[in-house]
């Protein structure tokens, strides 16, 4: 496992080997089989309920009409066509006519250059998947479909091509998504060949992969690297490989995707969620794409005789289904972002997020997962890394995230200091025995970027150091370092702009414990150096901040889950009887979390600007711990 097909060392190979070795040892003595109940039939039921929720919204032309905007949006219809076609394959023959109508309409949209919201690049992967499933059931319609599909000229039909963009920096996930479907069209003999794709893959996509196999989306010279567009691009390229792609880039691409699958496995949370950094974070389709990645790699590992790793991949796929399933409504639709606000309010939605489109794209991705998971049932699920073992992982490239895990518990620290859309500090804490959002599960923002909120203030709130300068003003690390250029949400940022640096000063793990220290340097107001230490054991995280500079007081910002769109937390400011000691307790969804100051003389303050802070999951309420000196410590208690 040290060396992959390229012969180069996988950056996290030591931690991966430790996990697999421990897993295999337990399996040899009959331990670590996980009965999680996520059978093929249970997954199929989730998909069917989701698809049938939108069947009543299909019009006479086969289009799926979004009930909130009364129009067809983005790639809802081809997504529905694929998902319904997979259900037909599974025996739901009453959906055949509906699936065929959606496919007919989708093909016409692309050929006639009438794709809703100018998103034709997303259509071919869904259209060709549905075509392959339906062509033998409806041979006469298949002849018409094939004739129409043959009219597509990629450089003219699609948007993210060099013919249209004339800019290599714009060959982002859209282009890879289009190519994956176009390969399937060529494989069906409908397109002349697929050789033209090789230049795109080799010149514009392979260079974006890091050593960890993570795909850096955004301009080539300064990718903004959202985890959502890493996983979704790997999803599409993986479907292309599953469809038989064996071109000149296949071996290198397969290596990258294998590395990426291992990295996703090592970073998946105990609740089955991928890291939240970047735009489109915490949208359900993130985990739907991850489910396909884990499913296909579970089968590959099993075929290679790596049964423990196969079981972990299987469990990861199941947890992704579970992460999505908990947000499915009684009628079958999804809360497309992880909060309970009504979809009309668009809380936590990106400017491009659409309820029907992202519900159905999630359905389509899950449909592909079932389609390519024929052998998954013979693999017994085993614990994933977040459920077993201790590790501290630092991402490469521009993903700027540290992931620390102990048994069943994970914390994420973002290290970007000049990106107002991805603020530094602890941005997510999850424990398997607690509700996923209580940690909390997302931070605030210095700039909302793509994201809109129904309520709440925009404020950079995360677990992060704070300090009072000699002029009496309070500052925090989460404010970051302003760059010399304005924030460009589309173009990304240069991590070195504005100065500043972050480095892992030390990192150790032992049985049941992780301990690491980050050293932050830069032109912070009144401060030139910040040292943050994080010690984690199951149920407890100890945090210490040490600042070097000209300051009056030291502090710590504390983000607290306040409201998820349906349920409000109860937040207590606790004064210990007979002691001059304060703490904070949050009660949410039948569980609790406590923040306990560990430095003598610490006070809990409730700044007005932190009373109601918007985040993807709803609203946060912020507190600030304050004390004299230059060092402060506190404990985050996560009772089981």
Backbone angles phi, psi at 134, to 5 degrees: -100, -15
Residue 2: pLDDT band (50, 70, 90) is very low
Both 354 and 222 in a single domain? yes
Both 360 and 408 in a single domain? no
Specify the DSSP element, H or E, that contains 544.
Answer: strand 540-549
The shares of helix, strand and coil residues in the chain, as percent rounded to the nearest 5, are: 35, 25, 40
DSSP state of 346: -
Range of the domain at 176: 13-53+165-387
Both 463 and 377 in a single domain? no
pLDDT of 5 over the 50 cut: no
Task: Give me the mean pLDDT over the 86-99 stretch.
Answer: 98
Both 568 and 613 in a single domain? yes
Q: What is the pLDDT of residue 1?
A: 34
CA gap 189, 191 in Å, rounded: 6
Contacts of 400 (CB under 8 A, 6+ apart): 225, 277, 414, 415, 416, 419, 422, 495, 502
Both 190 and 224 in a single domain? yes
**Which of residues 387, 413, 431 is at a domain's end?**
387
Write out pLDDT tens, residues 386-437.
999 999 999 999 999 999 999 999 999 999 998 888 999 999 999 999 999 9
Both 508 and 573 in a single domain? yes
DSSP states along 212-252: T--B--S-TTS----HHHHHHHHHHHHHHHHTT--STTHHH
Write out pLDDT tens, residues 456-468.
999 999 999 999 9
Q: What is the pLDDT of residue 482?
A: 83
Six-digit token string for 626: 């304050």
- Pick from 405, 368, 403, 400: nearest CA to 384: 405
Q: Per the domain annotation, does 284 fall within a domain?
A: yes
Q: What is the pLDDT of residue 498?
A: 82
Share of the chain above pLDDT 70, in %: 98
Contact between residue 595 and residue 635 where contact means Cβ atoms under 8 Å apart: yes
Q: What is the pLDDT of residue 577?
A: 63
Q: How many CB atoms lie within 10 A of CB 588?
A: 23
Angle between helices 250-267 and 13-28 (to 10 degrees): 70
Write out pLDDT tens, residues 203-237.
999 999 999 999 999 988 888 899 999 999 999 99
Instruction: Say whether the peptide bond before residue 440 is cis (omega within 30 degrees of 0).
Output: yes
Per the structure, the count of domains in the chain is 2
Contact between residue 390 and residue 509 where contact means Cβ atoms under 8 Å apart: yes
Contact between residue 623 and residue 556 where contact means Cβ atoms under 8 Å apart: no
Residue 113: pLDDT band (50, 70, 90) is very high
Both 282 and 326 in a single domain? yes
Q: Residue 101, class by beta-carbon neighbours within 10 Å (0-12 exposed, 13-18 middle, 19+ buried)?
A: buried
Both 340 and 449 in a single domain? no
pLDDT of 304 over the 80 cut: yes
Contacts of 289 (CB under 8 A, 6+ apart): 231, 232, 234, 235, 365
Q: Per the domain annotation, does 65 fall within a domain?
A: no
Q: How much is the mean pLDDT over the chain?
A: 95
CA gap 614, 587 in Å, rounded: 19
CA gap 49, 535 in Å, rounded: 43
Backbone angles phi, psi at 521, to 5 degrees: -130, 145
pLDDT of 572 over the 60 cut: yes
Q: What residues does 337 pair with on adjacent strands?
A: 283
Both 383 and 397 in a single domain? no
Helix (H/G/I), strand (E/B), else coil: 207: helix
Least confident segment among 79-88, 196-205, 573-582, 606-615: 573-582
DSSP state of 10: P
Both 333 and 469 in a single domain? no
Q: What is the pLDDT of residue 108?
A: 98
DSSP states along 395-413: --TT--EEEEEETTEEEEE
Both 439 and 336 in a single domain? no
Positive or negative, the CA dihedral 297, 303, 304, 305 is positive
pTM for the model: 0.97
| Cα 587 off chain centre by | 26
Q: Per the domain annotation, does 78 fall within a domain?
A: no
The domain that holds 401 is classified in CATH as: 2.70.98
Specify the DSSP element, H or E, that contains 614.
Answer: strand 613-615
Task: Give me the mean pLDDT over the 188-217 stretch.
Answer: 94
Least confident segment among 125-139, 303-317, 401-415, 565-579: 565-579
Q: What is the pLDDT of residue 3?
A: 37
* Residue bearing the bigger pLDDT, 546 or 169: 546
Helix (H/G/I), strand (E/B), else coil: 7: coil
Q: Per the domain annotation, does 142 fall within a domain?
A: no
**Which of residues 328, 362, 387 is at a domain's end?**
387
How far apart, in Å, are the Cα atoms of 36 and each of 32, 139, 315, 379, 483?
Answer: 12, 41, 8, 12, 47
Q: Per the domain annotation, does 87 fall within a domain?
A: no
CA gap 215, 206 in Å, rounded: 9
């Amino acid at each position: 496992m040290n060396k992959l097909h390229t012969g180069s060392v996988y950056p996290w190979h030591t931690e991966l080997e430790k996990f697999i070795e421990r897993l295999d040892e337990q399996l040899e003595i009959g331990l670590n089989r996980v009965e999680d109940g996520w059978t093929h039939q249970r997954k199929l039921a989730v998909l069917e309920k989701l698809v049938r929720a939108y069947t009543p919204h299909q019009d006479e032309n086969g289009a799926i009409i979004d009930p909130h905007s009364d129009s067809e949006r983005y790639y809802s219809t081809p997504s529905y066509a694929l998902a319904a076609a997979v259900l037909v394959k599974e025996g739901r023959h009453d959906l055949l006519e509906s699936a065929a109508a959606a496919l007919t309409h989708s093909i016409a949209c692309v050929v006639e250059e009438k794709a809703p919201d100018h998103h034709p690049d997303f259509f071919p992967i869904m259209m060709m998947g549905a075509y392959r499933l339906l062509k033998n059931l409806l041979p006469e319609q298949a002849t018409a479909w094939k004739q129409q599909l043959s009219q597509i000229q990629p450089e003219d039909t699609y948007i993210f091509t060099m013919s249209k963009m004339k800019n290599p920096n714009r060959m982002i996930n859209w282009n890879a998504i289009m190519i994956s479907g176009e390969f399937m069209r060529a494989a069906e003999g409908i397109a002349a060949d697929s050789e033209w794709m090789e230049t795109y893959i080799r010149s514009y996509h392979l260079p974006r992969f890091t050593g960890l196999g993570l795909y850096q989306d955004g301009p080539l010279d300064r990718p903004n690297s959202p985890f959502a567009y890493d996983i979704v691009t790997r999803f599409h390229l993986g479907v292309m490989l599953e469809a038989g792609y064996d071109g000149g880039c296949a071996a290198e691409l397969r290596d990258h995707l294998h590395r990426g699958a291992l990295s996703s496995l090592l970073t998946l949370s105990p609740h089955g969620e991928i890291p939240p950094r970047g735009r489109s974070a915490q949208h359900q389709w993130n985990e739907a794409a991850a489910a396909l990645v884990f499913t296909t790699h579970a089968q590959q590992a099993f075929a290679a005789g790596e049964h423990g790793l196969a079981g972990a991949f299987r469990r990861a796929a199941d947890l992704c289904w579970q992460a999505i399933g908990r947000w499915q409504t009684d009628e079958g639709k999804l809360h497309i972002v992880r909060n309970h606000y009504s979809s009309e309010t668009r809380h936590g939605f990106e400017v491009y997020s659409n309820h029907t489109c992202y519900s159905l794209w999630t359905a389509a991705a899950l449909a592909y997962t079932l389609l390519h998971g024929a052998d998954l049932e013979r693999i017994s699920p085993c614990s994933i890394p977040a459920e077993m073992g201790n590790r501290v992982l630092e991402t490469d490239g521009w993903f700027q995230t540290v992931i620390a895990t102990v048994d069943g518990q994970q914390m994420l620290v973002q290290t970007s200091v000049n990106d107002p859309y991805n603020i530094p500090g602890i941005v997510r804490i999850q424990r398997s025995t607690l509700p996923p959002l209580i940690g909390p599960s997302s931070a605030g923002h210095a700039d909302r970027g793509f994201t809109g909120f129904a309520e709440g203030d925009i404020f950079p709130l995360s677990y992060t150091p704070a300090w009072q300068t000699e002029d009496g003003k309070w500052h925090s690390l989460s404010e970051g370092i302003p760059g010399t250029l304005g924030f460009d949400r589309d173009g990304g940022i240069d991590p070195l702009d504005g100065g500043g640096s972050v480095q892992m000063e030390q990192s150790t793990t032992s049985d049941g414990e992780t301990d690491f220290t980050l050293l932050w340097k830069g032109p912070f107001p009144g401060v030139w150096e910040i040292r943050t230490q994080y010690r984690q054991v199951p149920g407890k995280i100890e945090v210490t901040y040490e600042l070097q500079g000209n300051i009056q007081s030291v502090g710590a910002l504390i983000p607290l889950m306040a409201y998820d769109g349906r349920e409000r937390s109860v937040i207590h400011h606790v004064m210990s009887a007979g002691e001059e000691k304060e703490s904070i307790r949050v009660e949410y969804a039948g569980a609790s979390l406590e923040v306990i100051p560990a430095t003598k003389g610490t006070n809990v303050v409730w700044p007005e600007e932190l009373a109601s802070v918007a985040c993807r999951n709803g609203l946060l309420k912020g507190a600030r711990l304050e004390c004299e000196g230059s060092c402060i410590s506190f404990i985050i208690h996560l009772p089981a």
